[in-house]
Chains A and B, each alone.
Chain A
Amino acid sequence: MSVARKALEMTQAAAEAIVQRAETRYDAHRQEILRSTDRMFALLMIGQWIFAIGVALIFSPYGWQGKVKTVHMHVWIALFLGAAIISLPVALAWRRPGELLTRHVIAAGQMLSSALLIHLSGGRIETHFHVFGSLAFLAFYRDWPVLLTGTVVVATEHLIRGILWPESVYGIPNPEWWRFLEHAFWVVFCISILIPSCRRGVRDMRVLAERGAELEALSENQWRKSSVVDRAAADARGDD
């Protein structure tokens, strides 16, 4: 085998190894972000559930059935519906962190948590801010389809509940028919900014991994040069 061919094969093997390490670094970085965001949402959802129960206990702790004082339905809704909403996302975040299904279930669960809080606050417009905060948190994944899942869930939920129980969503019994479109517009506005940001985040991670590979390649080049110099010096000294 000629020296030139052997050198070419060595270069190809080294390049392959460096590219593989870059891919591994990129995947590890991405997984770390996905897993840590899953863990953040698991804690956030538990916190929101406790908060929802607190809201129900503070604003509507009791109801009346005739002369009998009972625990208000909102408290049970917060307790049991809230638990039902968060149980699967939290379980997946705990058992299967970093997986595609986990973050999409979390996106749906987070939007349903927003819906629960909106209902418990009697459709207060300020509670709708929770939806926008949630979208921003979902962008931490840097995986833009997750934002689409959240958007579809919250839009569908607003549409259905707006038809069946408008007071629960908007705080008034007879909102304009197009009110859900207004809400959907602001959600789309929000994700139209977040989606490019997510894509940019992924690109930056890729560039970081590739920059590491380029530096490794430079280091390999320097090592080869120094090896040649060392060998030449050894030859000059007459070493074996």
Chain B
Amino acid sequence: MTVDTNVEGQLRKGYDRVDVPAPGGGKRSLTRKQFETLPLRERVSYLIEGTAQFFLDGQPISASEAMRS
């Protein structure tokens, strides 16, 4: 495992969009701000189930990478 020691690079990490399951099936795409305003219980459930797909600059990233900033 390598550790990214580039502070500037670490600050730029995170996510700008996330896809979560839609209530009627399918997916809904949320901005980071929209995701962060969801109830905590809902966000936590997505993370436990692993059903949230995070994106940065259109590229999919892992949840653990998304949660770094």
Chain A contact residues, CB within 8 Å of chain B? 11-12, 14-16, 18-19, 22, 210-211, 213-218, 220-222, 224-225
Task: Report the Cα distance A132→B37, complex, angstroms.
Answer: 35
B30 CB within 8 Å of chain A:
no
**Cβ B50 vs Cβ A15 within 8 A:** no
A18-B44, A19-B41 are contacts. A221–B67 as well, Cβ < 8 Å?
A: no
Q: Which of A16, A19, A218 makes the CB contact (< 8 A) with B67? A: A218
Q: A215 contacts which chain B residues (CB < 8 A)? A: 67
Chain B residues bordering chain A, tally (CB within 8 A):
12
**Cβ B64 vs Cβ A22 within 8 A:** no
B45 CB within 8 Å of chain A:
yes
Interface centre among B40, B43, B48, by most chain A C-beta atoms within 10 angstroms, is B48
Q: B49 contacts which chain A residues (CB < 8 A)? A: 11, 221
Interface centre among B43, B49, B67, by most chain A C-beta atoms within 10 angstroms, is B49
Q: B67 contacts which chain A residues (CB < 8 A)? A: 211, 214-215, 218
Task: Report the Cα distance A19→B43, complex, angstroms.
Answer: 10
Q: B41 contacts which chain A residues (CB < 8 A)? A: 15-16, 19
